[in-house]
Copies of this chain bind each other. A is one copy, B any other.
Amino acid sequence: MDDLLARVERHVRAHLDEDIGRIQTLIRQPSISSENRGIRETATMLYNDFQALGCREARIFETPGHPIVYGHLDAGAPKTLIAYFMYDTEAILEDQPWIAPPLAGNLVDFPPFGRCIVGRGAINTKGPMGAFLNAARAIQAVGGPLPVNLKFVAEGEEELGSWNLGEFIRKNATMLAADALLFPMPRQEADGRVTVALGSRRGVIFELECNGELWGRGPAKFGIHSGNRSLVDSPVSRLIEAVASMATDNGNRVLIDGFYDGALPPDAEQNELLDRLATQWNEEAFRGKLGVHGLIDGLHGRAALQRLMFTPELNIRGFHGGDVRPGDVTVSMAVLPHRAVAKMSVSLVPNMNKEDVANKIRAHLDRHGYRDVKMTLRPGTTTEPGSWGRVSVKDDIVAALLATYERFGVAPEIWPISPGGWPGHLFQKYLGTSLVAGGVGHGGRAHSPNEYLVVDGNDRVKGLVDCEVGFAATMQAFARR
């Protein structure tokens, strides 16, 4: 192993408890963007971290939403890498069972991985962010030098759709100039395989509401006694019918006119990647990780992979109306509710366009008589530049990541498109940088209960030490290309 990486590894091993502690500190500071909970405190915490690391410039940039924290760690190196961070997390839903308090970041023995950090943000993405900062700190501690200059960009609205990030990049393109972007993210699966998903994409987040006031029928302002239902209309029933009109086959086949029009089928390179991936993909592990017995339409193998990456979806994130109290059938209020809300999203694939899709949804509702159903788009949906970005498997930052995996003996699967959304393409748009998300190590349950990041590891997945050394290795490999 290179001298630098060997020194880093010794240092991390000797100081692992401190590294774990820094990740726990991040998790213990809530930063739930959708509830505006702890956002400002977390931004300040990161600002202090960037300063302590010796960033020449560290600054909290205000936006119309949550602030963006920037730090420039100038090592005098020829190349500069943007480390994209998100410091916000998803919420903690009440009906989700956690084995440890979600904001404690406790170390829990999680067979077969040994000790893991469990908590909201453990993998998505306070754990990886903390590990990357630990790696930079370790490089400095052992005398470095840092192989690349680092520009940290930490946003607090990733879970809201990054709706102020694009404008920030556009306005600060000179300051942000870099050679590539890395989203530090341990991507090993539980069985040790690792995936490299090329590019990034984003979707349309929206909400539908039906209420008696807008409709002019049903209770206008408050829920009323259900004994009136025979003569009074139900906004909940109306919204259920409106949502049901948008798709069939359990929501899997969208009936909105032109919904699938923009979706490009895989091109030659993507087909080749899909062919290869189909021979590597462990469907059972995929289902096991998510706790899913069977996939849509009973799909398997290549067909399943192609559907996951190349078919846009219409998802219902939540639906609520009237009595939403948990409990058994006795927890049931005799009410005719006055409103209902569907929280929805559409994931887009190339070459689809957000504004176009949003317009088609609105047109569908209007055409089916649901003019009164209020559709609210997430702010910024129609002004944001682009919904997806593509990169080549040959780009330097991708190659550096692949070299890292090779160094750790991990064979990568190349996914032509990232199924999950992240905003890398916004940087590509304004800075021209290539981008990739990755790292060795393992975590899981993003957006679910018992979100975790592996600390110990086993013979298949790497632990936190290798995760941090791996980030150093990727910096070094990128510097050498």
Contact = CB atoms under 8 A, between A and B. Distances in A.
A237 B316 contact: yes
Nearest to A308: B231
Contact of A251 (B226, B234, B313, B327): B234
Given A230-B311, A241-B250, A317-B226, A421 B334 contact: yes
In the complex, which of the residues A219, A226, A326 has the most CB atoms of chain B within 10 Å of its own CB atom? A226
A146 B183 CA distance: 82
Interface string A427-466: 0000000000000000001111100000000000000000
Given A205-B332, A316-B237, A307 B231 contact: yes
Interface stretch (A47-55, A90-98, A108-116): A90-98
Interface string A219-248: 111111111111111101110110110011
Contact of A333 (B97, B247, B318, B320): B318
B221 A334 contact: no
Contacts of A40: none
Nearest to A207: B329
Nearest to A311: B230
B325 A34 contact: yes
Interface stretch (A171-179, A285-293, A403-411, A469-477): A285-293
Copies of the protein in its oligomer? 2
A71 interface: no
Interface stretch (A357-365, A372-380, A391-399): A372-380
A318 B322 contact: yes
Nearest to A227: B420
Contacts of A343: 322-323, 329, 331-333
Nearest to A287: B232
B336 A315 contact: yes
A240 B238 contact: no
A267 interface: no
Contacts of A291: 212, 219-222, 224, 338
A231 B422 CA distance: 19
A14 interface: no
B233 A327 contact: no
A340 interface: yes
A477 B383 CA distance: 74
Contacts of A316: 234, 236-237, 240, 321-322, 337
A96 B335 CA distance: 12
A362 to B, nearest CB: 14
A330 interface: yes
A292 B220 contact: yes
A222 B307 CA distance: 22
Given A222-B96, A317-B323, A324-B318, A329 B378 contact: yes
Contact of A295 (B222, B231, B308, B332): B231
Interface range on chain A: under 10, 10 to 19, 20 to 34, or 35 or more?
35 or more
Nearest to A378: B329
A308 B379 CA distance: 43
A160 interface: yes
Contact of A379 (B292, B330, B378, B379): B330
A371 to B, nearest CB: 14
A206 interface: yes
A464 B159 CA distance: 54
Nearest to A340: B319
B223 A448 contact: yes
In the A-B complex, list the 5 residue pairs whose CB atoms are closest, starting with the nearest.
A237-B251, A318-B323, A227-B420, A244-B244, A318-B322
Given A93-B223, A226-B317, A228-B290, 13 more contacts: A35-B325, A90-B333, A91-B333, A160-B332, A217-B292, A220-B291, A224-B448, A230-B309, A231-B296, A231-B307, A241-B248, A243-B244, A324-B324
Interface of A: 33-35, 90-91, 93, 95-97, 159-160, 205-207, 212-213, 216-234, 236-238, 240-241, 243-244, 247-248, 250-252, 290-296, 299, 304, 307-309, 311-313, 315-340, 343, 345, 347, 376-379, 418-421, 445-449
6 contacts: A226-B317, A230-B296, A230-B347, A234-B250, A243-B244, A329-B343
